[in-house]
Amino acid sequence: MTDDLLGRHRCVLPDWLALYYEEPIEITHGEGRHVWDSDGNRYLDFFGGILTTMTAHALPEVTKAVSDQAGRIVHSSTLYLNRQMVELAERIAQLSGIPDARVFFTTSGTEANDTALLLATAYRRSNTVLAMRNSYHGRSFGSVGVTGNRGWSPTSLSPLQTHYVHGGVRTRGPFAALDDYDFVAACVDDLKDVLGHIRPPAALIAEPIQGVGGFTSPPDGLYAAFREVLHERGVLWISDEVQTGWGRIGEHFWGWQAHSRSGPPDMLTFAKGIGNGMSIGGVVARAEIMNCLDANSISTFGGTQITMAAGLANLTYLLEHDLQGNARRVGGMLIERLRAAAAQVPAVREVRGRGLMIGIELTKPGTDEADPAAASAVLEAARAGGLLIGKGGGHDTSVLRIAPPLSLNVAEAGEGAAILERALRSTM
């Protein structure tokens, strides 16, 4: 990338709009699991535009659907019948597992979570919300108000009264030393204690696997145990599936299914991967919840024809090619390869994840102190080796985030693991 483009970026865009790398790169095109920069360098992509390129770059089925639709009509708004929107909503409603489901489309995960909060607070007539520590739900005023990650909370002002409970991070915090059974029991006791001190909340919003927080997750069944407590009090459960949905975690199509003892959530939110790079988000909720609003509401660009065409083509490809199964198989191999490599690197505190959603947490050797400088160094070294990854985490951004397109094959997984292993060894 030329210095001129970087200078222009800095002149007209916000300082807080972060760029990766000491020398930022411009991605010009991609194909499959690879992308190229403006200098002609080729990279294996293990981050997929922050988990948005779910199936593959330049997937022919999606690009053809977008091109064909663009030649007919791009947008008409939700004020008119939209066949593509209805067809995608039908498929998502059926896949969601939520009975009598209704679907509302937005343009992003942030807007989807904001909509879910609007529905929950209107339905329950309460602006009190429960959320998880270390969580991230978006950058709007409402979603920031339920984000429990200091690095992504630019203001403490909020239209909501939010109370944070334990459980999203298994290996840190006051319950980390407990076994899984006692960990869940302690988190449930904490939830009950919080509920005893606050006004009746509208909902609990939770990511089954915390994305920006560093791909952390509780033991299976935690949210089912929470749901039993909440259901007794009429409190809704919103499962934020923006990063975990569509089979990325391999074992399940949705993250909530690892906590399914009490059935599906009252609402789930989705975005990112369904559009394979096109801007699609949305909410699925039981009809009585979705229909509770007593005022007009539309989404000008939510459900627009061109994004719905992309979503339909992408979802069809994902299901017909069993990319969930591929994520389980290839992701399982990848995580074991990374664990074996990390065992020789003292700075790696933990390798965790499911399917093709993997986190490597780095700390200063011999301590639990986060090491964001090490994470940045590995990010740079991986890029120099031809691999793009991400970073995140609730403890000063010291977790490497690995989330390739779900069509990743065994050879590419091995290639990426080898590059990452060299990057870890060279910087530690």
CA distance 417 to 425: 12
Per-residue confidence (pLDDT) for residue 395, from 0 to 100? 73
Residue 89 CB-half CA count within 13 A: 21
Q: Are 162 and 121 in contact (CB under 8 A)?
A: no
Residue ranges of the alpha helices (H) in 138-234? 141-144, 180-195, 222-232
Cα angle for residues 174, 180, 183 (degrees, 5° grid):
30
What domains can you pick out in the chain, each with its CATH number? 3-58+322-427 (3.90.1150.10), 64-320 (3.40.640.10)
Per-residue confidence (pLDDT) for residue 2, from 0 to 100? 52
CA distance 98 to 59: 30
Residues of the chain with pLDDT under 70: 1-3
Residue 400 CB-half CA count within 13 A: 33
Cα–Cα nearest to 309, from 110, 114, 67: 67
CA distance 134 to 399: 13
Sheet strands (E) in 215-310: 236-240, 267-270, 281-286
CA distance 31 to 205: 36
> What is the identity of the amino acid at 74?
V
> What is the identity of the amino acid at 129?
V
